[in-house]
Homo-oligomer: A and B are copies of this chain.
Amino acid sequence: MKLIQAIIKPFKLDEVKEALVELGIQGMTVTEVKGFGRQKGHKETYRGTEYQIEFVPKIKLEIVVPDSRVADALEGITRAAKTGSIGDGKIFVSELQSVIRIRTGESGEGAV
């Protein structure tokens, strides 16, 4: 089993979700995060004091998939999340040792 972490632009969440559902991937966990990278943030002004906000709002998706589905998933996410402009985000893949579904206690591929 693999854990795919994707950092994407917030307004792309729905498209990416749809793409994954179409691939038959039925579950994911979403976290609101802030990103720092090439894409620069914005400026705010309050009574003449300016603040340069360097962190950009992003969405982090965590998706656990069987090894067999990793390739599709990566392809699907990349396609759906891409705008071609700086800040589209990253995908990180790592190995999981075990997965458990709390409700049933079952583990492994059956658990996701």
CB within 8 Å of B: which residues of A? 2-3, 6-8, 17, 26-38, 54-55, 58, 60, 64, 74, 77-78, 81-103, 105, 111-112
| Assembly CA distance A5 to B102 (angstroms) | 12
| Assembly CA distance A83 to B17 (angstroms) | 27
CB A17 to nearest CB in B, in angstroms, measures 7
Known: A26-B37, A88-B103. 5 other contacts (CB 8 A): A27-B35, A28-B35, A31-B32, A90-B112, A91-B102
Residue in contact with A111 in the complex, picked from B32, B82, B90, CB distance below 8 Å: B90
Residue in contact with A94 in the complex, picked from B27, B34, B55, B97, CB distance below 8 Å: B97
The reply to whether A27 and B31 form a contact with Cβ atoms under 8 Å apart is no
The reply to whether A101 and B95 form a contact with Cβ atoms under 8 Å apart is no
| Assembly CA distance A2 to B97 (angstroms) | 9
The reply to whether A60 and B29 form a contact with Cβ atoms under 8 Å apart is yes
CB A39 to nearest CB in B, in angstroms, measures 10
Q: Which residues of B contact A90 (CB under 8 A)?
A: 27, 64, 99-102, 111-112
